[in-house]
Structure 1
């Protein structure tokens, strides 16, 4: 039995039918997984199985250090999203993107697939005015 019930799987499957291009979900864990890591892996495997436009791969945080360095993963469980060309988007999720966080995760998948929500012109202008690299972290939680 999976983490998602049949009703949720159907809803997500219907949502993922709207994906235009493939997204690769890259999951980082370790051989001796913590409880949250096991649940996260199961969640991501279920999610990726709902659409042929979702790929899934796993890397070991201890054994695959070069992959962790490549994707700048410094803690687990971690999930990265790759665009249809296999390019790292910089989007990361740490922990299980379930509950209310699933909305951000699904939106991240759609953005990575190429289905983007347009930004207001004023926001686009402010972003265009940024002249240096920035590191943005967004935390989503009920508390």
Structure 2
């Protein structure tokens, strides 16, 4: 089978993944009637073998439904990450993390292996006050250079506060969802299906919308 990653890109990713601190597990949920599941499986396999801190497993969305439900996984392909203690990192990437979204994948791997805070003291104090259940959806396309920044911000918020979950959706794979949420530009960020904004905005913009939730 032809490699999805070129030798140059493979080497670049291998170098960047040296920033990983602790072991993690990547779990990919797939299903039979899924055009992008096989390439997503291959891509994650190619990336996972580049660092021995990454353990990669495939699960069935239907046969392993209890496990999928435990991580809030409803779609395929979707991957989640567990830290070295087996804790779910509170985010899901729905779709194939190819194109520019390879950056979202690599950042998620490194961030999930880290124990360091992602934000400054002021931001952390604001985040501590978020005590309601928050879900952040980020719609992306593989050709969007600004989308990985928005995905990483959403994922880092979810990794920092247990009340927050984050979902990245590759808009083309999940076209029906994209239509439901009127996605015409990306990245499009939606908070609790109530508040939305566009673009790779700073963390303050995310928090401003999150703090509107009553």
**Unaligned segments of structure 1, at least 5 residues:** none
When structure 1 is superposed on structure 2, of 97-106 and 128-137 the one drifting more is 128-137
Structure with larger RCO (C-alpha < 8 A, sep 6+): 1
Asked if the contact 1:91/1:108 (under 8 Å) is kept, the reply is no
Give the secondary structure class of the aligned counterpart of 1:51: coil
Relative to 1, partners in 2 of residues 1:58 and 1:75: Cα closer, same or farther, differing over 3 Å?
Answer: same
Aligned position for 2:129: 129
Aligned position for 1:92: 92
**Unaligned segments of structure 2, at least 5 residues:** 145-185, 187-214
Asked if the contact 1:111/1:117 (under 8 Å) is kept, the reply is no
TM-score by length of 2: 0.62
Aligned position for 2:44: 44
Aligned position for 1:78: 78
- Residues 79-138 of structure 1 show CA distances to partners (whole Å, capped at 9, x for unaligned) of 001101111111210101111112122111111101646313332222122122222223
Instruction: Give me the CA root mean square deviation.
Output: 1.6
TM-score by length of 1: 0.90
Relative to 1, partners in 2 of residues 1:130 and 1:37: Cα closer, same or farther, differing over 3 Å?
Answer: same
Aligned position for 2:157: none
Aligned position for 2:107: 107
Structure 1 residue 73 displacement after superposition:
0.7
Give the secondary structure class of the aligned counterpart of 2:72: coil
- Give the distance between the partners of 2:117 and 2:124, measured in 1 at CA: 12
When structure 1 is superposed on structure 2, of 110-119 and 60-69 the one drifting more is 110-119
Aligned position for 1:138: 138
- Give the distance between the partners of 1:117 and 1:138, measured in 2 at CA: 22
Aligned structure 1 segments of 4 or more residues deviating by more than 6 angstroms: none
Asked if the contact 2:34/2:76 (under 8 Å) is kept, the reply is no
Relative to 1, partners in 2 of residues 1:90 and 1:9: Cα closer, same or farther, differing over 3 Å?
Answer: same
- Give the distance between the partners of 2:5 and 2:85, measured in 1 at CA: 29
Aligned position for 2:35: 35
Give the secondary structure class of the aligned counterpart of 2:25: strand
